[in-house]
Amino acid sequence: MKNASAPVTHYRKDYLPPDFLIETVKLKFELDPNATLVSSELMLRRNPQSDGLAQKLFLNGEGLTLKAIFIDDEELTEKDYDIDESGLTLNRVSDRFVLKTCVEIDPANNAALEGLYVSGDKFCTQCEAEGFRKITFYMDRPDVLAEFFVRIEADKTQYPLLLSNGNKLDSGDLSENKHYTEWHDPFLKPCYLFALVAGDLDLLADEFVTHSGRKIALELYVDKGKLDQSQFAMESLKNAMAWDEKRYNLEYDLDLYMIVAVGDFNMGAMENKGLNIFNTKYVLANPATGTDQDFENIESVIGHEYFHNWTGNRVTCRDWFQLSLKEGLTVFRDQQFTEDMRSKAVKRIDDVKVIRSYQFAEDAGPMAHPIRPDAYIEMNNFYTVTVYNKGAEVIRMLHTLLGEEGFQKGMSLYFKRHDGSAATCDDFVAAMSDANQFNLDQFKYWYSQAGTPTLRVDYDYDESNQCLKLHFSQNNAHESASEPYFIPVKLGLVGTKGNQVSFSSAEFGLTNVEEGLIIVTQPNQTVNLEGVSEEVIPSLLRDFTAPVKLDINYSDQQLAYLFANDGNTFNRWDAGQRLMQRFLIDEEDSIKESIAEAFRALLNDQSIDNAFKARCVQIPDLKTLFENDPNGRIDSLIERRKTLKKFLGIALEDTWSRLYNQLHRASDLDLDGVSVANRALKNASLDYMAFSSEQHEAIVIKQFEDAKLMTEELSAFSIANHHELEVASKITQAFYDKWHSEPLVMDKWLAIQASVDSLDTLNRIQTLRHDRVFNIKNPNKVRALFSTFAALNFSQFHRIDGAGYRLIAEAIIEIDEFNNQVAANLAKQFSSAAKLDDARKMHVQQQLKKVIDKENLSKDVFEVVSKTLE
Ligand code: ARG
Ligand code: ZN
C-alpha cells in the first residue's frame, strides 16, 4: 500500500446519534465551471438525544477551498478551527449557533461525477452516498435532516435554467447578464437528496392530477433536440404516480416533479427530492433508437425513483448500513409495478435470473455481505445486487408471508411511525410484525447473514396413508451464517396426467388446496402433506418464494415432465433450465434429444404466450452455469453451451424458420406486450437459424435493412456479429454510419462488439477505445466496452493467456485516476477468481497485484481488490 494513510473501516455497531442537528440550511451557488463559489449558512443546535458533552464539532468537507468562515457573524481565526483532507473541526461550539462558510470548487474538473460537476454544457449534482461533502462543509450523514433554502446565480445565456429541490420561490435578473432563482424545499431532508441543475435544456411539460384532486406539474428536461425521445419516460412517470396511489395509497407531496437526463452519470438514476437526475439511458428512447428492453428498463427506473419519494425520502435511512431499507423495498415496489404493467410471470423469471447469475455469485465471492452490511471502507462499493435485489427478495418474502393486505397494513404502520425521519431495517421489520401480530424474530437472520442457503429436499409417498413426506434440510456455507433461516416455500403437486393434485396440511392450515405455503424454520424438518390421492411430483419453491438454491433430485424424465406440465409458470421455466444444466454441467450427452423434444412441444403449443416461450428457449448464461458448476470448468461450459445451441438449432430447424416467418409476417411497430413478445421469440428463432438455414445470412441482412425498430435492427446486427457472418463488418459499419451521433445507440454498438466470442475481440476493443465515439471519462462508455467484455464475454475475458484480465486491470488503473466508483465496479469483475483453475488464478493475481501497487490507489478499488486477493 502506497496510500498516505491506511483506509478506515466503518462499522455498523459504532453508530452514535449526531451531537448537533441542522435546522435550516441556506446555500448560495455562484456558478462558474472552474470556480464556483458556495456560500452556506447553517443553523446548528445541540441534539437533545446526544450526551451533550461535545465541545468540538466536525463537518465533512473534501476538495473545498475555504474562502471565509464565521460563527454568529464573527469571523473565525486560525485557532478556532482545523481543516484536513476529510473536513473541518470547529474547536469550540455553543449549544446553538450559526455557521457561515464560503468555499470554492472546480466542477469542470470533477471527473469523479460526485458532488457538483459539469456534464456536457450543464451543471448537475450527485450526492448519494457521500458526495455532498464535495460541495460544502456539512454533517454529511443521512440522519441529519434539515430544511433547505437554495439560491443559484449564473450567466443567463449559458444557463437559462437554474433548478433545485422543492418549490421555486423567486427568480430575476442580475447585473453582467446574470440571473438567479431561489428554491425552498418544505420537506426536511438529508443532504444526499440535495440536487442542483443549471443549463440550457428542452422541456417536456405535463400534469398529473392526484386522487385527492391536486394538480402536479411534471417537467422532464433533456438535451436540446431530444424531445422526440422523451415521451415514453413521461408516460411512465404518470403511470407510476397512478400506480402508487392505487396499490399503496401513496400520493405525491410537492406541486412540482422534475426529471433531468444527463449523459455522464455513475449509476442509473437518483431520487433527489422533487428533482430526480437520471442517466440518459433510463430516459431517452423512441422506437427507432431504443429496444423493447430499453422501454421496460425506462419504465422501471422511472418508477423506482418515483417510488423513492415515500420509501427513501419521506422515510430515509438512519445510517448507510441500512441502505436496503430504502433500496430493497423500492426495488420490490418497482418489480411489482412492472408485474402489474406487463406480465407477472415473465417479470418474475427475469428478476430471478439476476439473482441467480449476479447475486448468488456475489454471495459466493470475496465481497459477500448481508443485505444490511456490518462494515465498509467505501460506502459506494455497497450499492450491490445483494443490497438491492436480494434486499427486494427479502421484502418479497414478507409480502408472501403476510399477504397483500397484511403487507399494506405493515406499510401504513411504518409510515405512521417513521414519516419525516430516518429509520432502520429493524424499524421496518417491527412495523410489519406489529401490524400483523406475526413474529419475525427468526426472519431477521435474512438481514444479518451473508451467503446463499441451499434447501435440500427429499420426499417419499406413503400410498396407504395418502401422505407425502417432504424432508427439508437447510445449509449455508457462509461463515457469517450459523442460524437457520425462516424460509417460505410455495408448493403444488403435479399428478401423472399433467393434473394438479390437491393436498392438506394441518400444521400449515391448508385444507384440500392445489397450491399452498409452508414455512421451513429448522435445520432439518419434515412436512407431512395429507390427502394426496396419487403418486405425484412435488413442485417446490414456486415463483421462487425464497432466495435459496433448491436441491431436489428429480429424474430427467420428471424434469421434462414438469417442464411440460407444472401448473406454475415460473417452475415450468425453471424445470427447463434445470434440464439444460443436465447437459451443460452434468455432462449427460443423451439428454439433448429430450431437450429438443420438450422445446418442440412448447413451441408448437398455441396456448402459451410468446414472451414465456422466448424465455424458455434461452440457454442458461455462462455466469449462471459457472456459479452452479461446483468445479467452475470454464472451457467445458463454453464448449457444451455452444454444442447445445447448435444441436437445438439443427434439430428444430423447421420450427425456428416457421416461427420466424410467421412472426415476421405478423410483425408490427407496436410496443404492447404481444408485439414485444412476438419480437422476442422471432429474434430468438433467427439466432438459432444460423446453424441450419441456408438463407440465414440473407434473412439477417434483410431484417437489418428493413428495420424500423431498434429491437429489429439491433438483433440483426448482434446475430451477424455473434455468428461471425460474412456480412458482419458491413453491417457494423452501416450501423455506425447511421447512428454515430446518438451516444446511447453507440453504447449498444460497442457492447455487442465487446461481447463477441472471438480471439480477435481484444484487438477490436483496442481499436474501439480510440474511436471518436468512445470516451473513457463517460461511465456509459466504460460499461459498454469494458464491463460488457468482462461480464458477458466469458471466453475472451477468461482467455487462458491472461490477456483479457490484463485489459481490464489496465482499464481499472487508468480509470481510478479520475473516477474511483467506476474503477471499483470494474474491479468487481474479478470476484470469481477463487473458483478459477490454477493457471487463470495466477494470471488474475498477477494483474490484481499490479492494481494494488498503483500509486494513490483509491480506497474504493483498494477495498475490492484487497478482498479479492485475500
Ligand atoms: N439511490 C439511487 C437509486 O438506487 C442510487 C444511488 C447510487 N449511489 C452510488 N453511489 N452508487 O435509485
Ligand atoms: Zn434506489
Residue nearest atom 12 in ligand 1 by C-alpha distance: 270
Grid coordinates representing 385 are 445486487
Q: What pLDDT score was predicted for residue 481?
A: 81
Section 401-425 average pLDDT: 99
C-alpha dist (Å) from residue 412 to 433, 551, 759: 12, 37, 57
Residue that has been written with the C-alpha cell 395509497 in this structure: 249
Residue that has been written with the C-alpha cell 449509476 in this structure: 267
- Provide the annotated active-site residues: 305
Residue nearest atom 1 in ligand 1 by C-alpha distance: 270
Give CA–CA dist 186/149, Å, rounded: 9
Atom of ligand 1 nearest to the CA of 114: 10
Cβ proximity of 540 and 351 under 8 Å: no
Atom of ligand 1 nearest to the CA of 327: 4
Q: What pLDDT score was predicted for residue 2?
A: 40
Q: Is the pLDDT of residue 477 over 80?
A: no
Query: pLDDT band at 169, cuts 50/70/90?
Result: very high
Interface TM-score (ipTM) > 0.90: yes
Residue of 193, 267, 325, 819 to test ligand 1 pocket, by largest number of atoms within 8 Å of CB: 267
Section 710-721 average pLDDT: 98
Q: Any idea how long the chain is?
A: 870
Instruction: Determine the distance separating the centroid of ligand 2 and the alpha carbon of 639, expressed in angstroms.
Output: 38
| Long-range contacts of 430-435, Cβ-Cβ distance < 8 Å, separation of 24 or more | 432/398, 432/402, 432/407, 435/406, 435/409, 435/410
Collapsing DSSP states into helix, strand and coil, what is residue 245? helix
Residue nearest atom 9 in ligand 1 by C-alpha distance: 380
Q: In whole angstroms, how large is the CA radius of gyration of the chain?
A: 28
Task: For residue 288, give every residue at least 6 positions away whose Cβ sits within 8 Å of its Cβ, in sequence order, or none.
Answer: 708, 709, 710
Residue that has been written with the C-alpha cell 416455500 in this structure: 489
Atom of ligand 1 nearest to the CA of 312: 1
In terms of DSSP bridges, do strands 275-279 and 256-262 run parallel, antiparallel, or are they unpaired? parallel
- CA–chain centroid gap for 468, Å, is 40
The per-residue pLDDT of the chain, averaged, comes to 97
Cβ proximity of 370 and 448 under 8 Å: yes
Residue of 124, 270, 305, 317 to test ligand 1 pocket, by largest number of atoms within 8 Å of CB: 270
What is the distance in angstroms between the CA of the first residue and the CA of the last residue of the chain?
Answer: 14
Give CA–CA dist 138/782, Å, rounded: 32
Instruction: Determine the distance separating the centroid of ligand 2 and the alpha carbon of 388, expressed in angstroms.
Output: 8
Residue of 383, 385, 821, 859 to test ligand 1 pocket, by largest number of atoms within 8 Å of CB: 383
The closest ligand to the CA of 825 turns out to be 1
Grid coordinates representing 749 are 454498438
Concatenating the DSSP letter of every residue in 511-577 gives: EEESEEEEEE-SSEEEEEEB---S--EEE-SGGG-SSSEEEE---HHHHHHHHHH-SSHHHHHHHHH
Beta-bridge partners for 124: 117
Query: pLDDT band at 478, cuts 50/70/90?
Result: confident
Atom of ligand 1 nearest to the CA of 380: 10
Give CA–CA dist 123/401, Å, rounded: 46
Q: Is the pLDDT of residue 479 over 90?
A: no
Instruction: Determine the distance separating the centroid of ligand 2 and the alpha carbon of 479, expressed in angstroms.
Output: 29
Instruction: Determine the distance separating the centroid of ligand 1 and the alpha carbon of 723, expressed in angstroms.
Output: 37
Q: What pLDDT score was predicted for residue 5?
A: 64
- CA–chain centroid gap for 315, Å, is 21
Which residues have CB under 6 Å of ligand 1?
A: 128-129, 267, 269-271, 304-305, 327, 380, 383
Grid coordinates representing 283 are 430516459
Residue nearest atom 8 in ligand 1 by C-alpha distance: 128
Cβ proximity of 457 and 552 under 8 Å: yes
pLDDT digits (tens, 9 = 90+) for 91-112: 999 999 999 999 999 999 999 9
Q: Is the pLDDT of residue 1 over 60?
A: no
C-alpha dist (Å) from residue 708 to 413, 420, 495: 50, 48, 47
Residue that has been written with the C-alpha cell 457469517 in this structure: 480
Residue of 117, 125, 128 to test ligand 1 pocket, by largest number of atoms within 8 Å of CB: 128
Question: Given its phi and psi angles, is residue 847 left (phi above 0), alpha (psi -120 to 50 degrees) or beta?
Answer: alpha
AA letter at 743? P
**Which one is predicted more confidently, 746 or 667?**
746
Atom of ligand 1 nearest to the CA of 269: 12
Residue that has been written with the C-alpha cell 462499493 in this structure: 381
Section 230-252 average pLDDT: 99
Q: Give percent of the chain above pLDDT 70.
A: 99
Q: Is the pLDDT of residue 262 over 90?
A: yes
Side-chain-facing half-sphere of 22: CA atoms under 13 Å: 28
Task: For residue 51, give every residue at least 6 positions away whose Cβ sits within 8 Å of its Cβ, in sequence order, or none.
Answer: none
The closest ligand to the CA of 332 turns out to be 2
Instruction: Determine the distance separating the centroid of ligand 1 and the alpha carbon of 191, expressed in angstroms.
Output: 14
Instruction: Determine the distance separating the centroid of ligand 2 and the alpha carbon of 526, expressed in angstroms.
Output: 39
The closest ligand to the CA of 128 turns out to be 1
Residue that has been written with the C-alpha cell 427479502 in this structure: 394
The Cα angle at residue 718 between residues 712 and 719, in degrees rounded to 5: 90
Cβ proximity of 25 and 148 under 8 Å: yes
C-alpha dist (Å) from residue 144 to 18, 140, 188, 370, 428: 7, 8, 9, 25, 19
Q: What pLDDT score was predicted for residue 3?
A: 45
Residue nearest atom 5 in ligand 1 by C-alpha distance: 270
Phi then psi dihedrals of residue 2, to 5 deg: -105, 5
Atom of ligand 1 nearest to the CA of 304: 12
pLDDT digits (tens, 9 = 90+) for 669-711: 999 999 999 999 999 999 999 998 889 999 999 999 999 999 9
Q: Please report which helix (H) or strand (E) contains residue 840, including its range.
A: helix 838-852
Grid coordinates representing 753 are 462488439
Cβ proximity of 17 and 141 under 8 Å: no
The closest ligand to the CA of 311 turns out to be 2
pLDDT digits (tens, 9 = 90+) for 772-799: 999 999 999 999 999 999 999 999 999 9
Instruction: Determine the distance separating the centroid of ligand 1 and the alpha carbon of 378, expressed in angstroms.
Output: 14
pLDDT digits (tens, 9 = 90+) for 588-615: 999 999 999 999 999 999 999 999 999 9
Instruction: Determine the distance separating the centroid of ligand 2 and the alpha carbon of 311, expressed in angstroms.
Output: 9
Give CA–CA dist 261/278, Å, rounded: 5
Residue nearest atom 2 in ligand 1 by C-alpha distance: 270
Instruction: Determine the distance separating the centroid of ligand 1 and the alpha carbon of 269, expressed in angstroms.
Output: 7
Give CA–CA dist 595/611, Å, rounded: 19
Give CA–CA dist 127/194, Å, rounded: 7
Residue nearest atom 10 in ligand 1 by C-alpha distance: 380
Atom of ligand 1 nearest to the CA of 131: 10
Q: Is the pLDDT of residue 805 over 60?
A: yes
The closest ligand to the CA of 820 turns out to be 1
Q: What pLDDT score was predicted for residue 693?
A: 81
Q: Is the pLDDT of residue 428 over 60?
A: yes
